Structures are given as structure tokens and as C-alpha cells.
Amino acid sequence: MSPELTARPEHKFSFGLWTVGNRGRDPFGEAVRPKIEVADMLRGLADLGVYGVSFHDDDLMTFGAPESQRRAELDAFKKTLDETGLVCSMATTNLFYHPVFKDGAFTSNDPQVRRYAIQKSMRNIDVAAELGAPIYVFWGGREGVESAAAKDTRDALARYAEALDFLAGYVKDKGYDIRFALEPKPNEPRGDIFLPTVGHALGFISTLEHQEMVGLNPEVAHETMSGLSFYQGVAQTLWQGKLFHIDLNDQRIGRFDQDFRFGSEGIKDHFFLVRLLENSGYAGVKHFDAHAYRTEDVEGVWDFARGCIRNYLALAEKAREFDSDPRVAAAMSYTGVPQLAEPSVGPYSTEAAAGLMDEQFDVDSLASRGFGIEKLDQLVVDHILGIA
């Protein structure tokens, strides 16, 4: 195993300002560590070899402050990006913190709130364009209900689609080079959030006017909260050409959104995830949306960030070892992994259908075959444990 487990910008790792900036507040307790200034966050991330940073409008520019102050805050950010060489790789709107969004933003029952939410997004899309961010994320944390009596979900989804169509129209009209990434989550902070899973969001995208510019930003923790396999969700998203961005962290099934250090919990799942990302040609950023345990001081925050990167790179190295092991190739061949890439019947034609109808199958012999997956999977475990 190579000892080189530190990042270089070409690895394209990124962090949100709110991740290393997380001060450990939770519903039961106050902040436990001091604020890190934005410039210090950027310098710390650049020292770790990180490529990019992402932000919510309100992380960067004080909510409700006069335009001159917001401009000064933005200019200071741009200056530190230049100094550190970091790229702004994603931007998003905070449509969840202010009480005005308590019933939702794009799906609030109040049309004025909906119009305000769309305007707030347009303003920050302008900032994203100025900073050269190629991806704009929509995480609808407040888009949902506690009581199904409060909204007709079909109307809510129509308003959600309307907002995204309008904002996509805005991006096109302005000639910005920005694509949208929807981030599904099942619950928290709402009892039920609209677009709860990768599958719901992929289905929803097909209803949008500018669907070619809308993809996903799936998050490990969010699919895992639902008990779903994040790997399977990401694989389908890739297959549909919709993996525009990814939120990496860790999570135990069935818990609240834990946002743990990447690779700290589900190591086998993460092995497959990293192998998939590395082998798929995914060219976007690997974005860590996680935070340090509440027990940590500022030093612990940097240990956390270093750990996310180290675990990703270690798993990528394990995946390379696995893929170059001849025993793995042999086991995969026995299992039939390469054969699944071959067409079953090819495109339909009358002749092909007639040919298939005439074919004889020895079902008993087909049924008696073993697939050798125990042996193959043990090689996975052996590689992860370093005993292969």
C-alpha cells in the first residue's frame, strides 16, 4: 500500500464552507468550537491539497446586509481563492435556515415565499457565475411536510418543477455555464421531504423542461438513512448520465443524518463506491459534505478533513490492487461478470424473435450452476483487510 495518502488538486476533492466551518451545534446543544474565518478555512483546505470549495449564499455574504457589505465579503472570498489557488466548484442557496422558509421555499403554500425563494436563488446563481462555479445544487431541506393534510404533494411537485424550469431558463438566458444538481434526502429537517431518494429525483428530472441541464448530487448519508444502498443509487445515476456532483460522508442505517467522516463507518460499501467512481470516468469533484464529531476542537476539524481524504485515497488504492489481482479476474470470469456486458437478444426483429422461440434450453443444467460469489467476495474482504 502506497504511503502517499495526501491529496493533490488533480484528485479534485472539495469541501463545503459549512463542513469544516461546522461548530458542533445540534438540537440539544450550543456550538462547541470557535468560528474559523473563511480565509483561514480556505488556507487550511489548500494546505491539505484540496481542489475546490462550495458555499451557500449565506455562508459567504451576510444575510440581509447592505449590498456594499455583501460585495466586500464576496471580493474578499475571490481574493483568497486567487491566493490559495482553490476553485469554487459548487454553489447553492440557503433555503432552509431563515424562519420565512419554515413551510418550504419553492413548495411553500405561500406564493410570496415561493417567489422570494426563486429570487434568492437567482441572486446567488449570479454569484456562482461570477465565481465560475459549474454546478448549482438544490437540496430541498424544507420542501416537505409533517402532516400530509398540509399540502397536495402533486401540487408541491408541480411548484418544485416550475421553480427549476424558471431558474434553468434564467441560466440559459444569461448564457451561464452552470448545470443543476438535485440532492435527495428522505427526512430531516422536515418529517417527509419531497424527492426523498435518488430514484424519486431521477424520475422527477424527466418531467423538467430543461432536463439535459439537471442531474443529481446524491449523498451517502441520505440514501443510507432510508436503508438503501448508496452504491446502487450512484451506479444508476451514472448509467443515466446524471451524476453531476456527489456528497461524500458516512452514516449508519436508520439514524438521524450523522455526516460522519468519509470511510469511518461503511468501509466495504465505500470500497465499492470509490471503485465505481474511479473506474467510471466520473470527472466531477469528490465533495465532502460532513463534519467533525462534536467532541472536537479546531485541531480535530483538520484531523477530520485529512481523514476524509486519506480514507478515499486508501480505498482507491485498494480498488486498484483488487482490479489488478489475477485471482480476482479469474473469479470474476467464473462468476460471469464480463458476460453481463454482452447483449442477451440484441435489438428486436421478427427473425430474432422467431430464432429465440425455436431455441431449446436445458433448464436443469442451467439451474445447477454455481456462481462462485463466495470466493469472489472473500477476495474483496481479503483486499480490504490487507490479507489478500
Active site residues: 56, 59
80 or 217: CB nearest ligand GCO: 217
By CB under 6 A, which span of 113-121, 136-144, 154-162, 268-276 interacts with ligand GCO?
136-144
219 or 223: CB nearest ligand GCO: 219
CB of residue 162 to ligand GCO, shortest distance in Å: 20
3-state secondary structure of 254: coil
Instruction: Residue 92: name its binding partner from Mn ion, ligand GCO, none (Cβ under 5 to 8 Å by kind).
Output: ligand GCO
Residue 281 φ/ψ region, left for φ over 0, alpha for ψ in the -120 to 50 degree band, beta for the rest: left
157 or 221: CB nearest ligand GCO: 221
Other CB atoms within 10 A of residue 34 CB: 9
3-state secondary structure of 348: coil
Residues 189-228 contacting ligand GCO, CB under 6 A: 219
Instruction: Residue 137: name its binding partner from Mn ion, ligand GCO, none (Cβ under 5 to 8 Å by kind).
Output: ligand GCO
19 or 107: CB nearest Mn ion: 19
Alpha-carbon span 86 to 51, nearest angstrom: 6
Residues 120-159 contacting Mn ion, CB under 5 A: none
Q: Is 250 in the site for Mn ion (CB under 5 A)?
A: no
By CB under 6 A, which span of 43-51, 134-142, 208-216, 310-318 interacts with ligand GCO?
134-142
| Residue with the shortest CB distance to ligand GCO | 139
Here the cell at position 251 is 452514516
The correct pick among 22, 84, 89, 92 for binding ligand GCO (CB under 6 A) is 92
The correct pick among 137, 193, 216, 277 for binding ligand GCO (CB under 6 A) is 137
Q: Is 289 in the site for ligand GCO (CB under 6 A)?
A: yes
Alpha-carbon span 167 to 118, nearest angstrom: 7
Instruction: Residue 33: name its binding partner from Mn ion, ligand GCO, none (Cβ under 5 to 8 Å by kind).
Output: none
Here the cell at position 261 is 467522516
Q: Is 219 in the site for Mn ion (CB under 5 A)?
A: yes
Q: Is 36 in the site for ligand GCO (CB under 6 A)?
A: no
CB of residue 221 to Mn ion, shortest distance in Å: 5
Closest CA to 189 of 283, 90, 305, 96: 96
Q: Which residues of 360-387 are buried (b: 16+ CB within 10 A; e: fewer)?
A: eeeeeeeeeeeeeeeebeebbeebbeee
What does residue 282 show for φ and ψ, rounded to 5 degrees? Answer: -55, 125
Q: Is 250 in the site for ligand GCO (CB under 6 A)?
A: no
DSSP state of 243: B
Q: Which residues of 282-299 are buried (b: 16+ CB within 10 A; e: fewer)?
A: bebbbbbbbbbbbebebe
Size of the site for ligand GCO (CB under 6 A): 10
Q: Is 289 in the site for Mn ion (CB under 5 A)?
A: yes
Per-residue binder mask for ligand GCO (CB under 6 A), 138-167, x = binder:
-x-x--------------------------
Under a CB-based contact definition with an 8 Å cutoff, are residues 165 and 207 in contact?
no
Closest CA to 237 of 222, 261, 216, 251: 216
Q: Is 58 in the site for ligand GCO (CB under 6 A)?
A: no
Kind of pairing between the strands at 214-216 and 179-183: parallel
By CB under 6 A, which span of 30-38, 137-145, 206-214, 275-283 interacts with ligand GCO?
137-145
Q: Is 59 in the site for ligand GCO (CB under 6 A)?
A: no
Instruction: Residue 270: name its binding partner from Mn ion, ligand GCO, none (Cβ under 5 to 8 Å by kind).
Output: none
Q: Is 247 in the site for Mn ion (CB under 5 A)?
A: yes
Closest CA to 218 of 310, 286, 292, 123: 286
Residue 349 φ/ψ region, left for φ over 0, alpha for ψ in the -120 to 50 degree band, beta for the rest: beta
Q: Which residues of 130-167 are buried (b: 16+ CB within 10 A; e: fewer)?
A: ebebbbbbbbbbbbbbeeeeebeeeebbebbbbbbbeb
- Summarize as ranges the residues that interact with Mn ion (CB under 5 A): 219, 247, 257, 289
- Summarize as ranges the residues that interact with ligand GCO (CB under 6 A): 92, 137, 139, 141, 183, 185, 219, 247, 257, 289
